[in-house]
Amino acid sequence: MRSAAMTSRLLVWMPASEKDQFGAKQKKWSPYNKGKAIFAERRKMGGSLTLEGRELFADYQAEYYVYIQHKIKVGWKVFDTETEISYRVETIFPDKPSNMLRLVCKRINE
């Protein structure tokens, strides 16, 4: 893996639960790594259109390689600062020989 290819910067959020004034748990997102960007290599980026109920929806997928030292988990949010698209981590494939994690992400419709 070439370190010069790590040009994308990702902001990562992890889920945290908080109790409100009535005692119910609410899902809240807190920044990972104190809000600092993580360098990543974007390997694949694709998209498709789906027709649902006479409406077109754009669906984006992306694959990123990050260093294995980052303890990213499935279900966390990832924001690409270059494309300004938010993704949810769907699958993680570890690549131990190159000390990398392959993140398979899908766009979040917000």
Between CA 27 and CA 29 the distance in angstroms is 7
Which residue ranges form the domains of the chain, and what is each CATH number?
Answer: 3-16+26-107 (2.40.10.370)
Record the tokens describing residue 90, joined without a space: 């769907």
Q: Give yes or no for residue 19 having a pLDDT over 90.
A: no
* Single pTM value for the model: 0.81
Amino acid identity at 37: A
Over the stretch 20-37, which tens digit does the pLDDT of each residue have?
Answer: 888 888 888 889 888 899
* pLDDT over 90 (residue 102): yes
Separation between Cα atoms, residue 43 and residue 95, nearest integer Å: 14
